[in-house]
Amino acid sequence: MEELSHFINGQRVAGTSGRFADVFNPATGEVQARVPLASVEEIDAAVAKAAEAQVEWAKVNPQRRARVMMKFGQLINDHMDELAELVSREHGKTLPDGRGDVQRGLEVIEVCMGAPALLKGEYTNDGGPGIDLYAMRQPLGVVAGITPFNFPAMIPLWKMGPAIAAGNAMILKPSERCPSTSLRLAELIKEAGLPDGILQVVNGDKEAVDALLDHETIQAVGFVGSTPIAQYIYGRACSNGKRAQCFGGAKNHMIVMPDADMDKAADALVGAGFGAAGERCMAISVAVPVGEKTADALVERLVPRIEALKVGPYTAGDDVDFGPVITKASQDRINGLIDSGVDQGADLVVDGRGFSMQGYEDGFFVGPSLFDNVTADMDIYKEEIFGPVLSQVRTETYEEALKLTMDNPYGNGTAIFTADGDTARDFASRVNVGMVGINFPIPVPLSYYSFGGWKKSAFGDLNQYGPDAFKFYTKTKTVTARWFSGIKEGGEFAFKAMD
Protein backbone atom coordinates (compact mmCIF):
# COMPACT_ATOMS: atom_id res chain seq x y z
CA MET A 1 0.00 0.00 0.00
CA GLU A 2 1.25 3.46 -0.89
CA GLU A 3 2.45 5.54 2.02
CA LEU A 4 2.01 9.26 1.46
CA SER A 5 4.08 12.03 3.01
CA HIS A 6 4.21 15.71 3.82
CA PHE A 7 5.99 18.24 1.58
CA ILE A 8 8.32 20.28 3.75
CA ASN A 9 11.33 22.44 2.85
CA GLY A 10 11.05 21.52 -0.81
CA GLN A 11 10.76 17.77 -0.49
CA ARG A 12 8.47 14.92 0.41
CA VAL A 13 9.12 13.80 3.95
CA ALA A 14 7.66 10.91 5.90
CA GLY A 15 5.48 11.63 8.90
CA THR A 16 6.98 11.11 12.34
CA SER A 17 3.86 11.15 14.54
CA GLY A 18 3.09 7.45 14.02
CA ARG A 19 -0.53 8.38 13.27
CA PHE A 20 -2.07 7.76 9.86
CA ALA A 21 -5.42 8.01 8.08
CA ASP A 22 -6.64 5.63 5.39
CA VAL A 23 -7.13 7.02 1.90
CA PHE A 24 -9.82 5.05 0.07
CA ASN A 25 -10.57 4.30 -3.54
CA PRO A 26 -14.25 5.31 -3.30
CA ALA A 27 -15.17 3.21 -6.35
CA THR A 28 -13.99 -0.06 -4.83
CA GLY A 29 -14.12 0.73 -1.13
CA GLU A 30 -10.51 -0.42 -0.78
CA VAL A 31 -7.82 1.43 1.15
CA GLN A 32 -5.32 2.52 -1.50
CA ALA A 33 -2.91 4.57 0.61
CA ARG A 34 -2.32 5.91 4.06
CA VAL A 35 -1.49 9.48 4.86
CA PRO A 36 0.50 10.65 7.87
CA LEU A 37 -1.24 12.90 10.37
CA ALA A 38 1.10 15.62 11.59
CA SER A 39 1.83 16.17 15.26
CA VAL A 40 2.15 19.57 16.95
CA GLU A 41 5.95 19.21 16.71
CA GLU A 42 5.80 18.62 12.95
CA ILE A 43 3.59 21.69 12.54
CA ASP A 44 6.02 23.74 14.64
CA ALA A 45 8.97 22.68 12.49
CA ALA A 46 7.11 23.41 9.22
CA VAL A 47 6.04 26.84 10.46
CA ALA A 48 9.55 27.72 11.68
CA LYS A 49 11.11 26.99 8.30
CA ALA A 50 8.30 28.85 6.51
CA ALA A 51 8.86 31.92 8.68
CA GLU A 52 12.56 31.90 7.88
CA ALA A 53 12.01 31.49 4.14
CA GLN A 54 9.24 34.12 4.01
CA VAL A 55 11.57 36.94 5.01
CA GLU A 56 13.51 36.57 1.75
CA TRP A 57 10.41 35.79 -0.35
CA ALA A 58 8.80 39.05 0.74
CA LYS A 59 11.82 40.91 -0.65
CA VAL A 60 11.47 39.31 -4.08
CA ASN A 61 9.84 41.93 -6.27
CA PRO A 62 6.22 41.27 -7.26
CA GLN A 63 7.03 40.80 -10.92
CA ARG A 64 9.49 38.01 -10.16
CA ARG A 65 6.93 36.38 -7.89
CA ALA A 66 4.44 36.65 -10.74
CA ARG A 67 6.90 34.88 -13.04
CA VAL A 68 6.86 31.90 -10.68
CA MET A 69 3.07 31.90 -11.05
CA MET A 70 3.42 32.06 -14.81
CA LYS A 71 5.72 29.04 -14.88
CA PHE A 72 3.51 27.24 -12.35
CA GLY A 73 0.50 27.85 -14.59
CA GLN A 74 2.35 26.38 -17.55
CA LEU A 75 3.33 23.32 -15.54
CA ILE A 76 -0.24 22.79 -14.32
CA ASN A 77 -1.37 22.91 -17.93
CA ASP A 78 1.35 20.50 -19.02
CA HIS A 79 0.36 18.09 -16.23
CA MET A 80 -3.40 18.55 -16.58
CA ASP A 81 -4.20 14.88 -17.26
CA GLU A 82 -1.91 13.61 -14.51
CA LEU A 83 -3.41 16.02 -11.95
CA ALA A 84 -6.97 15.21 -13.04
CA GLU A 85 -6.26 11.52 -12.57
CA LEU A 86 -4.86 12.16 -9.08
CA VAL A 87 -8.06 14.04 -8.22
CA SER A 88 -10.32 11.32 -9.59
CA ARG A 89 -8.38 8.46 -7.96
CA GLU A 90 -8.96 9.76 -4.46
CA HIS A 91 -12.19 11.72 -4.87
CA GLY A 92 -13.98 9.41 -7.32
CA LYS A 93 -15.24 12.16 -9.64
CA THR A 94 -15.14 11.59 -13.40
CA LEU A 95 -12.03 12.59 -15.36
CA PRO A 96 -13.81 15.53 -17.06
CA ASP A 97 -14.80 16.72 -13.57
CA GLY A 98 -11.21 16.13 -12.41
CA ARG A 99 -9.96 18.29 -15.27
CA GLY A 100 -12.54 20.95 -14.39
CA ASP A 101 -11.27 20.89 -10.80
CA VAL A 102 -7.70 21.58 -11.99
CA GLN A 103 -8.83 24.13 -14.59
CA ARG A 104 -10.81 26.29 -12.12
CA GLY A 105 -7.74 26.36 -9.86
CA LEU A 106 -5.45 27.18 -12.78
CA GLU A 107 -7.62 30.18 -13.63
CA VAL A 108 -6.87 31.64 -10.20
CA ILE A 109 -3.14 31.10 -10.80
CA GLU A 110 -3.58 33.02 -14.08
CA VAL A 111 -4.95 36.00 -12.15
CA CYS A 112 -1.99 35.71 -9.75
CA MET A 113 0.29 36.34 -12.74
CA GLY A 114 -1.09 39.89 -12.50
CA ALA A 115 -0.15 40.20 -8.83
CA PRO A 116 2.00 43.31 -9.33
CA ALA A 117 -1.05 45.27 -10.49
CA LEU A 118 -3.21 43.88 -7.69
CA LEU A 119 -0.57 44.78 -5.10
CA LYS A 120 -0.14 48.38 -6.20
CA GLY A 121 -0.46 50.93 -3.44
CA GLU A 122 -1.99 54.41 -3.24
CA TYR A 123 -0.37 57.81 -3.27
CA THR A 124 -1.47 61.35 -2.49
CA ASN A 125 0.83 64.14 -3.49
CA ASP A 126 0.63 67.30 -1.32
CA GLY A 127 -1.93 65.98 1.13
CA GLY A 128 -0.80 69.08 3.11
CA PRO A 129 1.91 71.62 2.35
CA GLY A 130 4.90 69.48 1.37
CA ILE A 131 3.22 66.39 2.79
CA ASP A 132 2.81 63.20 0.81
CA LEU A 133 0.86 60.14 1.84
CA TYR A 134 1.28 56.66 0.50
CA ALA A 135 -0.22 53.32 1.37
CA MET A 136 1.49 50.04 0.60
CA ARG A 137 0.35 46.46 0.76
CA GLN A 138 2.71 44.19 2.65
CA PRO A 139 2.50 40.43 3.10
CA LEU A 140 1.27 39.08 6.42
CA GLY A 141 4.03 36.50 6.97
CA VAL A 142 3.11 32.84 7.39
CA VAL A 143 -0.52 31.95 6.68
CA ALA A 144 -2.47 28.69 6.80
CA GLY A 145 -4.82 27.13 4.25
CA ILE A 146 -7.17 24.36 5.36
CA THR A 147 -9.12 22.74 2.54
CA PRO A 148 -11.95 20.22 1.98
CA PHE A 149 -12.06 16.92 0.08
CA ASN A 150 -14.39 17.91 -2.71
CA PHE A 151 -12.06 20.02 -4.88
CA PRO A 152 -8.59 18.58 -4.21
CA ALA A 153 -6.90 20.78 -6.85
CA MET A 154 -9.07 23.88 -7.15
CA ILE A 155 -9.34 24.98 -3.54
CA PRO A 156 -5.68 24.42 -2.58
CA LEU A 157 -4.82 26.52 -5.68
CA TRP A 158 -7.32 29.21 -4.62
CA LYS A 159 -5.50 29.38 -1.29
CA MET A 160 -1.84 29.05 -2.27
CA GLY A 161 -1.88 31.24 -5.40
CA PRO A 162 -2.87 34.63 -3.97
CA ALA A 163 -1.14 34.05 -0.61
CA ILE A 164 2.21 33.21 -2.21
CA ALA A 165 1.98 35.78 -5.01
CA ALA A 166 1.42 38.41 -2.32
CA GLY A 167 4.70 37.46 -0.62
CA ASN A 168 3.53 35.14 2.15
CA ALA A 169 4.55 31.60 3.02
CA MET A 170 1.69 29.11 3.30
CA ILE A 171 1.16 26.03 5.41
CA LEU A 172 -1.42 24.07 3.45
CA LYS A 173 -3.37 21.38 5.29
CA PRO A 174 -5.39 19.58 2.61
CA SER A 175 -8.19 17.14 3.28
CA GLU A 176 -6.81 13.88 4.63
CA ARG A 177 -9.21 12.08 2.28
CA CYS A 178 -7.65 13.52 -0.91
CA PRO A 179 -4.08 14.58 -0.07
CA SER A 180 -2.12 13.55 -3.20
CA THR A 181 -2.99 16.44 -5.51
CA SER A 182 -1.66 19.05 -3.08
CA LEU A 183 1.62 17.13 -2.73
CA ARG A 184 2.04 17.05 -6.51
CA LEU A 185 1.14 20.75 -6.83
CA ALA A 186 3.85 21.52 -4.26
CA GLU A 187 6.40 19.72 -6.46
CA LEU A 188 5.25 21.62 -9.52
CA ILE A 189 5.43 25.05 -7.88
CA LYS A 190 8.93 24.23 -6.67
CA GLU A 191 9.84 23.33 -10.25
CA ALA A 192 8.41 26.72 -11.26
CA GLY A 193 11.02 28.41 -9.06
CA LEU A 194 9.37 28.79 -5.66
CA PRO A 195 12.02 28.76 -2.91
CA ASP A 196 11.87 25.90 -0.41
CA GLY A 197 9.74 26.50 2.65
CA ILE A 198 7.29 28.94 1.04
CA LEU A 199 4.69 26.23 0.44
CA GLN A 200 4.64 23.56 3.12
CA VAL A 201 2.03 20.84 2.68
CA VAL A 202 1.33 19.28 6.04
CA ASN A 203 -1.18 16.47 6.14
CA GLY A 204 -3.23 15.99 9.24
CA ASP A 205 -6.49 16.09 11.11
CA LYS A 206 -7.87 18.15 14.00
CA GLU A 207 -4.57 17.98 15.89
CA ALA A 208 -2.70 19.66 13.02
CA VAL A 209 -5.49 22.20 12.45
CA ASP A 210 -5.65 23.18 16.12
CA ALA A 211 -1.86 23.55 16.21
CA LEU A 212 -2.10 25.97 13.29
CA LEU A 213 -4.97 27.90 14.88
CA ASP A 214 -3.02 28.33 18.10
CA HIS A 215 0.39 28.99 16.55
CA GLU A 216 1.67 32.49 17.28
CA THR A 217 3.49 32.78 13.96
CA ILE A 218 0.44 32.04 11.80
CA GLN A 219 -1.06 35.38 10.82
CA ALA A 220 -4.12 34.33 8.84
CA VAL A 221 -6.27 31.27 8.25
CA GLY A 222 -8.12 30.58 5.01
CA PHE A 223 -10.55 27.69 5.48
CA VAL A 224 -13.03 25.91 3.22
CA GLY A 225 -15.22 23.06 4.47
CA SER A 226 -18.45 22.35 6.30
CA THR A 227 -20.28 25.05 8.27
CA PRO A 228 -19.78 23.69 11.81
CA ILE A 229 -16.02 23.41 11.26
CA ALA A 230 -15.88 26.79 9.48
CA GLN A 231 -17.58 28.42 12.45
CA TYR A 232 -15.29 26.66 14.91
CA ILE A 233 -12.14 27.62 13.01
CA TYR A 234 -13.28 31.21 12.56
CA GLY A 235 -13.93 31.58 16.28
CA ARG A 236 -10.68 30.00 17.42
CA ALA A 237 -8.50 31.81 14.84
CA CYS A 238 -10.08 35.19 15.59
CA SER A 239 -9.83 34.76 19.34
CA ASN A 240 -6.12 34.09 18.80
CA GLY A 241 -5.86 37.43 16.99
CA LYS A 242 -5.58 36.04 13.48
CA ARG A 243 -7.26 37.13 10.31
CA ALA A 244 -9.70 34.46 9.16
CA GLN A 245 -11.98 33.76 6.26
CA CYS A 246 -13.89 30.52 6.59
CA PHE A 247 -16.22 29.28 3.85
CA GLY A 248 -18.85 26.74 4.83
CA GLY A 249 -21.64 24.56 3.52
CA ALA A 250 -24.62 25.32 1.35
CA LYS A 251 -28.18 24.56 0.38
CA ASN A 252 -28.60 26.18 -3.01
CA HIS A 253 -32.08 26.89 -4.39
CA MET A 254 -33.02 27.28 -8.03
CA ILE A 255 -36.29 29.07 -8.69
CA VAL A 256 -38.08 28.11 -11.89
CA MET A 257 -40.67 30.64 -13.08
CA PRO A 258 -43.65 29.61 -15.22
CA ASP A 259 -42.19 31.47 -18.22
CA ALA A 260 -38.82 29.66 -18.07
CA ASP A 261 -37.65 27.36 -20.85
CA MET A 262 -38.55 24.09 -19.08
CA ASP A 263 -36.15 21.88 -21.04
CA LYS A 264 -33.22 24.16 -20.30
CA ALA A 265 -34.26 24.41 -16.64
CA ALA A 266 -34.45 20.61 -16.36
CA ASP A 267 -31.04 20.19 -18.04
CA ALA A 268 -29.57 22.75 -15.66
CA LEU A 269 -31.07 21.05 -12.60
CA VAL A 270 -29.71 17.66 -13.61
CA GLY A 271 -26.20 19.02 -14.26
CA ALA A 272 -26.11 21.19 -11.15
CA GLY A 273 -27.86 18.71 -8.87
CA PHE A 274 -26.08 15.48 -9.76
CA GLY A 275 -22.73 16.51 -11.27
CA ALA A 276 -19.80 15.29 -9.14
CA ALA A 277 -22.40 13.24 -7.18
CA GLY A 278 -23.77 16.47 -5.70
CA GLU A 279 -20.52 16.96 -3.78
CA ARG A 280 -20.17 20.61 -4.76
CA CYS A 281 -20.78 23.57 -2.48
CA MET A 282 -22.47 25.23 -5.46
CA ALA A 283 -24.62 22.20 -6.32
CA ILE A 284 -28.32 22.94 -6.67
CA SER A 285 -30.06 20.78 -4.09
CA VAL A 286 -33.48 22.46 -4.04
CA ALA A 287 -35.64 23.07 -7.11
CA VAL A 288 -38.31 25.69 -6.45
CA PRO A 289 -40.90 25.79 -9.22
CA VAL A 290 -43.50 28.56 -9.05
CA GLY A 291 -47.02 27.24 -9.74
CA GLU A 292 -48.35 23.68 -9.93
CA LYS A 293 -48.12 23.57 -13.72
CA THR A 294 -44.44 24.53 -13.62
CA ALA A 295 -43.76 21.88 -10.96
CA ASP A 296 -45.52 19.16 -12.97
CA ALA A 297 -43.76 20.17 -16.19
CA LEU A 298 -40.43 20.07 -14.41
CA VAL A 299 -40.92 16.63 -12.86
CA GLU A 300 -42.07 15.28 -16.20
CA ARG A 301 -38.78 16.41 -17.74
CA LEU A 302 -36.53 15.60 -14.79
CA VAL A 303 -37.49 11.95 -14.35
CA PRO A 304 -36.29 10.61 -17.73
CA ARG A 305 -33.15 12.73 -17.57
CA ILE A 306 -32.31 11.49 -14.06
CA GLU A 307 -33.08 7.88 -14.90
CA ALA A 308 -30.69 8.14 -17.86
CA LEU A 309 -27.75 9.23 -15.67
CA LYS A 310 -24.88 6.76 -15.68
CA VAL A 311 -23.13 6.15 -12.38
CA GLY A 312 -19.76 4.42 -12.21
CA PRO A 313 -16.02 4.58 -11.56
CA TYR A 314 -14.00 7.29 -13.30
CA THR A 315 -12.00 4.55 -15.01
CA ALA A 316 -15.08 3.70 -17.08
CA GLY A 317 -14.36 6.83 -19.10
CA ASP A 318 -16.44 9.68 -20.41
CA ASP A 319 -19.62 7.58 -20.43
CA VAL A 320 -20.01 8.01 -16.68
CA ASP A 321 -21.96 11.06 -15.46
CA PHE A 322 -20.92 10.82 -11.84
CA GLY A 323 -18.97 8.59 -9.51
CA PRO A 324 -19.19 7.37 -5.92
CA VAL A 325 -19.42 9.60 -2.85
CA ILE A 326 -16.34 10.05 -0.73
CA THR A 327 -16.71 7.56 2.14
CA LYS A 328 -18.84 4.72 3.44
CA ALA A 329 -20.02 7.05 6.22
CA SER A 330 -21.14 9.58 3.65
CA GLN A 331 -22.95 6.87 1.64
CA ASP A 332 -24.73 5.67 4.78
CA ARG A 333 -25.63 9.21 5.81
CA ILE A 334 -27.10 10.04 2.39
CA ASN A 335 -29.13 6.80 2.29
CA GLY A 336 -30.34 7.56 5.82
CA LEU A 337 -31.45 11.05 4.79
CA ILE A 338 -33.37 9.57 1.83
CA ASP A 339 -35.09 7.18 4.30
CA SER A 340 -35.99 10.17 6.46
CA GLY A 341 -37.49 12.00 3.49
CA VAL A 342 -39.78 9.04 2.81
CA ASP A 343 -40.68 8.74 6.52
CA GLN A 344 -41.44 12.45 6.78
CA GLY A 345 -43.86 12.38 3.85
CA ALA A 346 -41.97 13.60 0.76
CA ASP A 347 -42.63 11.80 -2.56
CA LEU A 348 -39.56 9.84 -3.66
CA VAL A 349 -39.98 9.99 -7.43
CA VAL A 350 -36.58 8.49 -8.32
CA ASP A 351 -34.93 6.27 -5.71
CA GLY A 352 -31.13 6.08 -5.73
CA ARG A 353 -30.82 3.82 -2.68
CA GLY A 354 -29.44 0.35 -3.09
CA PHE A 355 -27.48 1.21 -6.23
CA SER A 356 -24.99 -1.53 -6.99
CA MET A 357 -22.59 -2.18 -9.80
CA GLN A 358 -21.01 -5.47 -10.80
CA GLY A 359 -17.38 -5.57 -9.78
CA TYR A 360 -17.82 -2.49 -7.56
CA GLU A 361 -20.21 -3.85 -4.94
CA ASP A 362 -18.17 -2.35 -2.09
CA GLY A 363 -17.83 1.08 -3.73
CA PHE A 364 -19.46 4.09 -2.07
CA PHE A 365 -22.06 4.58 -4.78
CA VAL A 366 -25.43 6.24 -4.37
CA GLY A 367 -27.74 6.45 -7.37
CA PRO A 368 -29.54 9.70 -8.21
CA SER A 369 -32.70 10.53 -6.22
CA LEU A 370 -35.50 13.01 -6.83
CA PHE A 371 -37.97 14.07 -4.16
CA ASP A 372 -41.15 16.03 -4.88
CA ASN A 373 -43.48 17.80 -2.42
CA VAL A 374 -40.67 18.49 0.03
CA THR A 375 -41.45 20.97 2.82
CA ALA A 376 -39.13 23.22 4.78
CA ASP A 377 -39.52 21.25 8.03
CA MET A 378 -38.13 17.99 6.59
CA ASP A 379 -34.56 16.88 7.28
CA ILE A 380 -33.84 16.48 3.55
CA TYR A 381 -34.56 20.22 3.23
CA LYS A 382 -32.77 21.35 6.38
CA GLU A 383 -29.55 19.31 6.01
CA GLU A 384 -26.81 19.84 3.46
CA ILE A 385 -27.02 16.31 1.97
CA PHE A 386 -23.87 16.67 -0.16
CA GLY A 387 -24.93 13.78 -2.37
CA PRO A 388 -26.91 13.07 -5.56
CA VAL A 389 -30.32 14.05 -4.17
CA LEU A 390 -32.54 16.80 -5.59
CA SER A 391 -35.54 18.04 -3.61
CA GLN A 392 -38.43 19.88 -5.21
CA VAL A 393 -40.32 22.37 -3.02
CA ARG A 394 -43.51 23.56 -4.71
CA THR A 395 -44.50 27.22 -4.28
CA GLU A 396 -47.50 29.27 -5.43
CA THR A 397 -45.87 32.63 -6.11
CA TYR A 398 -42.54 34.25 -6.86
CA GLU A 399 -42.64 35.99 -3.46
CA GLU A 400 -43.08 32.64 -1.71
CA ALA A 401 -40.12 31.15 -3.65
CA LEU A 402 -37.97 34.17 -2.83
CA LYS A 403 -38.92 34.01 0.86
CA LEU A 404 -38.06 30.29 1.02
CA THR A 405 -34.60 31.01 -0.41
CA MET A 406 -34.07 33.95 1.91
CA ASP A 407 -35.23 32.15 5.05
CA ASN A 408 -32.73 29.34 4.48
CA PRO A 409 -29.77 29.68 6.86
CA TYR A 410 -27.25 29.08 4.04
CA GLY A 411 -26.48 31.68 1.40
CA ASN A 412 -23.80 30.37 -0.93
CA GLY A 413 -25.36 30.27 -4.40
CA THR A 414 -28.81 30.51 -5.95
CA ALA A 415 -30.34 30.74 -9.40
CA ILE A 416 -33.49 31.80 -11.15
CA PHE A 417 -34.70 30.54 -14.51
CA THR A 418 -37.08 32.94 -16.21
CA ALA A 419 -37.67 34.73 -19.50
CA ASP A 420 -38.55 37.96 -17.72
CA GLY A 421 -35.78 40.49 -17.11
CA ASP A 422 -37.69 42.40 -14.44
CA THR A 423 -38.20 39.29 -12.32
CA ALA A 424 -34.55 38.28 -12.71
CA ARG A 425 -33.40 41.77 -11.82
CA ASP A 426 -35.63 41.91 -8.75
CA PHE A 427 -34.36 38.52 -7.62
CA ALA A 428 -30.69 39.43 -8.04
CA SER A 429 -31.18 42.64 -6.13
CA ARG A 430 -33.25 41.32 -3.20
CA VAL A 431 -31.98 37.81 -2.50
CA ASN A 432 -29.63 37.47 0.50
CA VAL A 433 -27.22 35.04 -1.14
CA GLY A 434 -23.64 35.72 -2.20
CA MET A 435 -23.59 34.33 -5.75
CA VAL A 436 -26.61 34.55 -8.06
CA GLY A 437 -27.23 32.92 -11.43
CA ILE A 438 -29.76 34.14 -13.96
CA ASN A 439 -30.57 31.23 -16.27
CA PHE A 440 -27.24 29.93 -14.97
CA PRO A 441 -27.37 27.14 -12.38
CA ILE A 442 -23.83 27.25 -10.91
CA PRO A 443 -22.78 30.89 -10.81
CA VAL A 444 -19.17 30.43 -9.65
CA PRO A 445 -17.62 33.82 -10.46
CA LEU A 446 -14.72 33.89 -12.91
CA SER A 447 -11.32 34.11 -11.26
CA TYR A 448 -10.94 37.88 -11.61
CA TYR A 449 -14.04 38.36 -9.44
CA SER A 450 -14.14 36.88 -5.94
CA PHE A 451 -16.04 33.90 -4.53
CA GLY A 452 -18.03 33.92 -1.32
CA GLY A 453 -21.39 33.12 0.20
CA TRP A 454 -23.51 34.91 2.79
CA LYS A 455 -25.15 33.84 6.05
CA LYS A 456 -23.93 30.46 7.37
CA SER A 457 -21.97 29.80 4.16
CA ALA A 458 -19.10 32.12 5.03
CA PHE A 459 -17.51 33.69 8.10
CA GLY A 460 -15.23 36.68 7.67
CA ASP A 461 -15.53 39.83 5.66
CA LEU A 462 -13.61 39.19 2.45
CA ASN A 463 -14.18 36.65 -0.32
CA GLN A 464 -11.69 34.19 -1.73
CA TYR A 465 -9.59 34.62 -4.90
CA GLY A 466 -9.66 37.67 -7.15
CA PRO A 467 -9.04 41.16 -5.73
CA ASP A 468 -10.45 40.27 -2.28
CA ALA A 469 -7.79 37.58 -1.80
CA PHE A 470 -5.01 40.10 -2.32
CA LYS A 471 -6.60 42.28 0.36
CA PHE A 472 -6.95 39.34 2.69
CA TYR A 473 -3.33 38.22 2.29
CA THR A 474 -1.79 41.68 2.74
CA LYS A 475 -1.94 44.39 5.34
CA THR A 476 -1.93 48.06 4.51
CA LYS A 477 0.71 50.39 5.83
CA THR A 478 0.12 54.10 5.34
CA VAL A 479 3.03 56.54 5.44
CA THR A 480 2.75 60.30 5.93
CA ALA A 481 5.99 61.97 4.84
CA ARG A 482 7.61 65.38 4.52
CA TRP A 483 11.15 66.51 3.83
CA PHE A 484 12.51 69.48 5.76
CA SER A 485 15.03 70.29 3.11
CA GLY A 486 12.02 71.46 1.10
CA ILE A 487 10.93 74.05 3.68
CA LYS A 488 12.12 77.43 2.64
CA GLU A 489 13.74 79.99 4.92
CA GLY A 490 11.05 82.06 6.62
CA GLY A 491 8.67 79.09 6.84
CA GLU A 492 6.86 79.17 3.54
CA PHE A 493 4.91 76.10 4.57
CA ALA A 494 2.15 76.34 7.16
CA PHE A 495 3.37 73.53 9.41
CA LYS A 496 6.14 72.98 11.92
CA ALA A 497 8.33 69.99 12.57
CA MET A 498 6.95 67.76 15.31
CA ASP A 499 8.95 67.24 18.45
* Residues at the interface with ligand NAD (CB under 6 A): 146-151, 173, 175-176, 205-206, 209, 224-226, 229, 247-250, 281, 384, 386, 412, 453, 457
Minimum distance, C-beta of residue 107 to ligand NAD, in the bound complex (Å): 15
Minimum distance, C-beta of residue 434 to ligand NAD, in the bound complex (Å): 9
Nearer to ligand NAD, 227 or 369 (CB): 227
Nearer to ligand NAD, 137 or 215 (CB): 215
Task: Provide CB contacts within 8 A for 457, sequence distance 6+.
Answer: 227, 247, 248, 249, 250, 281, 410, 411, 412, 434
Minimum distance, C-beta of residue 225 to ligand NAD, in the bound complex (Å): 3
Q: Which residue in the list 112, 178, 246, 281 is annotated as catalytic?
A: 281
Minimum distance, C-beta of residue 147 to ligand NAD, in the bound complex (Å): 6
Residues in the chain: 499
Report the alpha-carbon distance of residue 56 to residue 487 in Å, rounded: 38
Minimum distance, C-beta of residue 493 to ligand NAD, in the bound complex (Å): 52
Residue 6 sits at φ, ψ, to 5 deg, of -105, 175
Report the alpha-carbon distance of residue 314 to residue 309 in Å, rounded: 14
User: CB nearest ligand NAD: which residue?
Assistant: 225
Report the alpha-carbon distance of residue 402 to residue 475 in Å, rounded: 38
DSSP code, position 332: H
Which alpha helices (H) appear in 153-247, and where do they start and end? Answer: 154-165, 180-191, 206-214, 227-239
Task: Provide CB contacts within 8 A for 194, sequence distance 6+.
Answer: 68, 72, 164
Nearer to ligand NAD, 73 or 249 (CB): 249
Nearer to ligand NAD, 38 or 140 (CB): 38
Residue 389 sits at φ, ψ, to 5 deg, of -130, 125
Crossing angle, helix 292-307 and helix 262-274, to 10 degrees? 50
Minimum distance, C-beta of residue 64 to ligand NAD, in the bound complex (Å): 30
Minimum distance, C-beta of residue 269 to ligand NAD, in the bound complex (Å): 18
Nearer to ligand NAD, 150 or 395 (CB): 150
Minimum distance, C-beta of residue 385 to ligand NAD, in the bound complex (Å): 10
Angle at 304 between CA 300 and CA 306, to 5 degrees: 110
Report the alpha-carbon distance of residue 196 to residue 190 in Å, rounded: 7
Nearer to ligand NAD, 148 or 161 (CB): 148
Nearer to ligand NAD, 151 or 470 (CB): 151
Nearer to ligand NAD, 200 or 294 (CB): 200
Nearer to ligand NAD, 441 or 453 (CB): 453
Q: Per-residue b/e over 414-435, b at no fewer than 16 CB within 10 Å?
A: bbbbbeeeebbeebeeebebbb
Report the alpha-carbon distance of residue 379 to residue 112 in Å, rounded: 41
CA–CA distances in Å: residue 128 to residues 131, 135, 136, 476, 482: 5, 16, 19, 21, 9
Is 246 a residue of the active site? Answer: no
**Bridge partner list, 11:** 8
Start-to-end CA span in the chain (Å): 70
Instruction: Using alpha carbons, select from 296, 386, 374 the residue that is nearest to residue 340.
Output: 374
Residue 498 sits at φ, ψ, to 5 deg, of -80, 155
Angle at 393 between CA 348 and CA 328, to 5 degrees: 50
Minimum distance, C-beta of residue 24 to ligand NAD, in the bound complex (Å): 14
Give the strand order in the sheet containing 369-372: 347-350, 369-372, 389-392, 284-289, 252-256, 413-417, 435-438
User: Which residues are tagged catalytic?
Assistant: 281
